[in-house]
Amino acid sequence: MYQQPCVRVVFVDERLMMFHIDWKKLPSSVWLGAAMLSTSLAFVPISPVAAQTRVLPDFTDLVEQVGPSVVNIRTLEKVTARPSADNGMDEDMLEFFRRFGVPIPNQPRQGPRPNRPQQQEEEQPRGVGSGFVLTADGFILTNAHVVDGADEVIVTLTDKREFKARLVGADKRTDVAVVKIQATGLPAVKIGDVSRLKVGEWVMAIGSPFGLENTVTAGIVSAKQRDTGDYLPFIQTDVAINPGNSGGPLINMRGEVVGINSQIYSRSGGYMGIAFAIPIDEAMRVSEQLRASGRVTRGRIGVQIDQVSKEVAEAIGLGKPQGALVRGVEAGSPAEKAGVEAGDIIIKFDGKAIEKSSDLPRQVGNTKPGLRSTLTVFRRGATKDLSITIGEFEADKPARKEREEKPRSTSAGQSLGLAVSELSDAQKKELKMKGGVRVDVASEAAARAGLREGDVIVAIANVDIAGVREFEAVVGKLDKSKPVNVLFRRGEWAQYAVIRPAR
């Protein structure tokens, strides 16, 4: 019996192992077999799974490669500064002294008040996001919501240089925006192929979460083609994404950008392990249109659609649940002219299968308006091809605030701390309202009641407000010493506020 091992295993690296044979401890009778063993098993590969359990990915080279291409984006907005009141005290402190009958310090009890300074505009920080260099001459890609409504966009490079950026264009439906800075020789990113991206693959994000610039986080791809109800199918990851990461790149292990970090799923407002990125191929398609014309042109056919349930598919003979169920057809739309009917199930668009209802608006949207296409519909047990001319989707409104003067309320509105303007026909249509006035300024009593710019006042003192003229008439008849109720809309939600006069 041999007391010591004759064969031992040596690991060359994480993927190869080597058999070492001590020939002196082997009898001559087994030399031939040992020689054959050494020839065939000298290097034995270890499976990739076993190798991956031994070594974690190293992101240092990727950070050095892509990091200089990632930028920090700060946005500013111009706000009306509330002027200082008597003796430099703010209005809230003066209100405290008046309410409790305390004389204002160093202020005579009688006599006229000095004239207050006029309201002035000042720039205040609005938000922080991320972006990345698309071209060496200064085009930068980010999220539309990062720059939406900003009066000024400041881009900071990793070398601490700052530039005022010009908004080239933004598309809210895909949440993609392009800004331009006056610089050359910038390190542009490499664009990856999303079709090669696999679930389980390591990816990395660089951005400015909570304003912390050049922060690197990593994780894996959790899912592809994730349908969240938005216009695009997202890449789902478990990369830590927080406010400020928006607009930053999602990078694969080859140093290529495969997505734009855009959203998170959260019940707390912070990261909870699920993040979503816009596929870079879709983002590039949008960015090319934005750079060419400043806007994105999309096709539309004018139908209201829904999913096809398994029960419905079986009941009508469709077989499996697929396609988009047409619930309604807009009057005068391309779909109506093509002969599409409510109850049809659109199963193909230009020969491409519609697996789920969200596939249809994406395919139609990517089609140039004016082109003729073919819809294949399933109607009463049979399929039918319909020829349709693609219409154009209504363009998004510009991301920057409009500067044109609007008719505003006069002295009556100012008594409540309000300045309002008429709603345009487009705004009424968007809000599905017949009347109302938009709040342009809410200060003093109105601000204390919770009203703010952008709200739409629907009624005051239980009287409907159709426009600025009705607003002025109703407010002019109010008893300024009594509280007044205001019904207003904020987004899709209506709520009441009570404006109380100062005492």
| Residues annotated as catalytic (active site), given as ranges | 145, 175, 246
Count CA atoms closer than 13 A to 367's CA, side-chain side: 24
Helix (H, G, I), strand (E, B) or coil at 381: coil
- Residues forming a β-bridge with 164: 154
What are the tokens at 463? Answer: 């009287």
Identify whether the C-beta of residue 460 lies closer than 8 Å to the C-beta of residue 497. no
Closest-CA residue to 438 (of 429, 428, 449): 428
Longest CA pairwise span in the chain (Å): 123
Backbone torsions φ then ψ of 135, nearest 5 degrees: -135, 155
What are the tokens at 9? Answer: 């295993």
Identify whether the C-beta of residue 192 lies closer than 8 Å to the C-beta of residue 280. yes
Closest-CA residue to 208 (of 65, 76, 62, 71): 71
Gap between the Cα atoms of 46 and 18, Å rounded? 11
Identify whether the C-beta of residue 176 lies closer than 8 Å to the C-beta of residue 278. yes
Closest-CA residue to 401 (of 179, 87, 149): 149
Identify whether the C-beta of residue 258 lies closer than 8 Å to the C-beta of residue 251. yes
Strand spans (E) along 227-302: 234-237, 249-252, 256-264, 275-279, 299-300
Closest-CA residue to 362 (of 291, 305, 318): 305
Neighbouring residues of 183: CB distance < 8 A, sequence distance ≥ 6: 137, 138, 157, 161, 163
How many CB atoms lie under 10 A from the CB of residue 174? 25
Identify whether the C-beta of residue 68 lies closer than 8 Å to the C-beta of residue 158. yes
As a whole number of Å, the end-to-end CA separation of the chain is: 106
Closest-CA residue to 421 (of 461, 469, 463, 459): 469
